[in-house]
Amino acid sequence: MIHNPVPMSWYLILSAILFGLGVAGFIYRRNIITVFMSIELMLNAVNLTFITFSYKLKQVDGHIFSFFVMVVAAAEAAVGLAIILTVFKNRETLMIDDVSSMKY
């Protein structure tokens, strides 16, 4: 078993597990930064599926897509963290439940 090739589905299942953990973290955590990191975890999980399918199709396009995901994640992190800094400056809190004035 150790020397057999790894079935592709395992990678996908790993990706699903990580994605699920990301979703759970997003819902469960209350610190904005941790919530943000949960999003990054989800993005990583998606990247893993891209790379896996790229291997299956023997095409490099999946890598390109995950590359773009990374770049977008970098942009998102820059803006998102700036927003978090501003929120903290204005409200002195990082708890996501305290930032709920955007409602009816």
Partner 1 sequence: MALWLIPIFPFIGFLLNGLFGRRLPKAMINLFAIGSVFLSFLWAVRVLLGLGALETKYVEHYFTWIQSGNLNISIDFAVDRLTAVMLMVVTGVGLLIHIYSIGYMSDEGGYYRFFAYLNLFMFFMLVLVLAQNFLLLFVGWEGVGLCSYLLIGFYFLEQYATNAGNKAFIVNRIGDFGFSLAVFLIVRQFGSLDFTKVFDAAKTMPVESGAGILTVISLLLLVGATGKSAQIPLYVWLPDAMAGPTPVSALIHAATMVTAGVYMTARSAALFTHAPIAMDSVAVIGLATAFFAATIGLAQTDIKKVFAYSTVSQLGYMFLGAGVGAFSAGIFHLMTHAFFKALLFLGAGAVIHGLHGEQDLRQMGGLFKHMRITAITLLCASVAISGFPFTSGFFSKDAILVAAYERAPWMYWVGVLTAGMTAFYVFRAWFLAFTGEYRGHAHPHESPLVMTGPLMLLALLSLGGGFINIPHWLEPMFAEKPENQVLAWTSAGVGLLGIALAYLFYVARPGLADSVASSMSGLYKLIYNKYFVDEFYSATVVQPVVDGSRTVLWRGLDAGVIDGLVNGVGIRSRGVGRILRLLQSGNIRSYAAWVVLGSIAVLLAIGLAGGAR
Partner 2 sequence: MTALIFFIFAGIAVFCGVSLVVQRHPIASALSLIGVMGSLAVLYLQLGGEFIAAAQMIVYAGAIMVLFVFVIMLLNAGAEGPSIGGSNLAKYLGIFLLAAFLGVISFIIQAMLPPTEGISFGAWRGGTALEIGRKLFTTYLLPFEVTSVLILIAILGAIVLARKEI
Which residue ranges make up the site for partner 1 (CB under 8 A)? 23, 26-27, 30, 35, 96-97, 99-104
Report if residue 34 touches partner 2, rule: CB under 8 A.
yes
91 binds, among partner 2, partner 1, none (CB under 5 to 8 A by kind): none
CB distance 55 to 18 below 8 Å = no
CB distance 33 to 96 below 8 Å = no
Report if residue 91 touches partner 2, rule: CB under 8 A.
no
- Whichever of 7 and 104 has its CB closer to partner 2, that residue is 7
Instruction: Give the integer Cα–Cα distance in Å for 44 and 40.
Output: 6
Instruction: Give the integer Cα–Cα distance in Å for 103 and 67.
Output: 36
93 binds, among partner 1, partner 2, none (CB under 5 to 8 A by kind): none
